[in-house]
Structure 1
Amino acid sequence: MRKVFLIFGIAAITLVGCKNVEKNEVSTEGAPETPETVNSNITEVDSHNSENSLDWAGVYEGTTPCADCSGIKTVLDLRKDKTFILSQTYLGKPAGENEFTQTGNFVWDRAGKMIRLKTESGAFQYDVGENKLWMLDVKRNRIEGDLADMYILKKRIQ
């Protein structure tokens, strides 16, 4: 008889314990919104990005690969008023035919992470980091592979 009471007792405790767990789960569906419930549903968004957190204005330089020369010496001056000067020198080409300079405006993407230079010859896109610019491909991805490091322009520290 004791064993029967013991088994019933354990079963009762188990059932009561399960019911308590269900009671602890509170549904807010259909409940009126209070300041506490509204604030508990808010996900804090980090508004820091390259545009507003980095000292991005300045002169960046590097030598990018070239199909028919030994490289393209690239100097990009980004200014706080969102204008730029882009100078490209094709190394190994005759003087007078190897230097090109373009000026214009640039725009930030919505996330404040990438810039796009608007030039006469097309557009250049860069991912902006701490003292570096990564040249992007047409799909706005960083260039990868063996030559990936050559597509990084480094900020000239003055």
Structure 2
Amino acid sequence: MRKIIILAFASALIASCNSKNSKDENNAVLTDTIANNEKYEPADTISVYEGTLPCADCEGIETILKIDVADNTFQLSSTYKGKQPEKNFKEKGNINTERGLEKDPDGTIYILNWDKPEKDQVYYGYYSNNPEKLYLLDRNKKIIKSNLNYFLELNE
């Protein structure tokens, strides 16, 4: 729905260069598009994913990952549950995006800390048909095959 609104707005903007009459007509189309949707909102640029990742020596790593695609930044919060005292780590940095996750050419891979040495980079990705499930990836940018849950879910 948001894509339709953005496309309608972009079309109106491009067509407005043609003439004043075209501008008036396109504004009417944009107004109609917005009026037919319950609520007009600009495209969200921040996605928040949450979940508990497996941990070798604790009950699990409670993880919150905020990705801002407009600024190409991330915030990662990890809390090691069952540790005394609980250990909490927060990290901020830059991300880069790649297309293609395994056999899905339209999948997306986020490279956290892409501007740092490879040993400091972390990879997450999602399939194009299920962007609500963000998988932690291995060093080869592949989904970790396990019976354990190596994924976060989109918090809406």
- Is this a same-fold pair by TM over 0.5? yes
Q: Distance in 2 between matches of 1:151 and 1:118?
A: 19
The partner residue of 1:125 within 111, 123, 126 is 123
SS of equivalent to 1:88: strand
Shift of 1:128: 2.6
Higher mean C-alpha displacement, 101-110 vs 118-127: 118-127
Which of 67, 71, 92 is residue 82 of structure 2 equivalent to? 92
Aligned equivalent of 1:145: 146
Instruction: Give the gaps of 5 or more residues in structure 2.
Output: 1-42, 101-106
The residue correspondences of 1:47-86 to structure 2 (distance < 5 A) are 57-80=46-69, 81-86=71-76
Runs of 4+ in 1 over 2 A off after TM superposition: 54-57
* The 10-residue stretch of structure 1 (123-132 or 80-89) with the greater mean CA deviation from structure 2: 123-132
Measure how far apart 1:55 and its partner are. Answer: 6.4
Secondary structure of 1:126 counterpart: strand
Ranges in structure 1 where 5+ consecutive residues have no aligned partner:
1-53
Cα distance, 1:110 vs structure 2: 5.1
Distance 1:61 1:128, change over 3 A: same
- Is the alpha carbon distance of 1:143 and 1:55 closer, same or farther for their aligned partners in structure 2, counting shifts above 3 Å? farther
TM-score (norm 2): 0.58
Aligned residues: 101
Q: Higher strand fraction: Structure 1 or Structure 2? A: 2
Q: TM-score, normalised by structure 1?
A: 0.57
Compared with structure 1, are the counterparts of its residues 132 and 75 closer, same or farther at alpha carbon in structure 2 (3 Å cutoff)?
same
Q: Which of 1 and 2 has higher RCO (CA within 8 Å, sep 6+)?
A: 1
Aligned CA distance change for structure 1 residues 56 and 124 (closer, same or farther; 3 Å): farther
Question: Which has the higher Rg, Structure 1 or Structure 2?
Answer: 1
CA 1:113–1:55: 2 relative to 1, 3 Å = farther
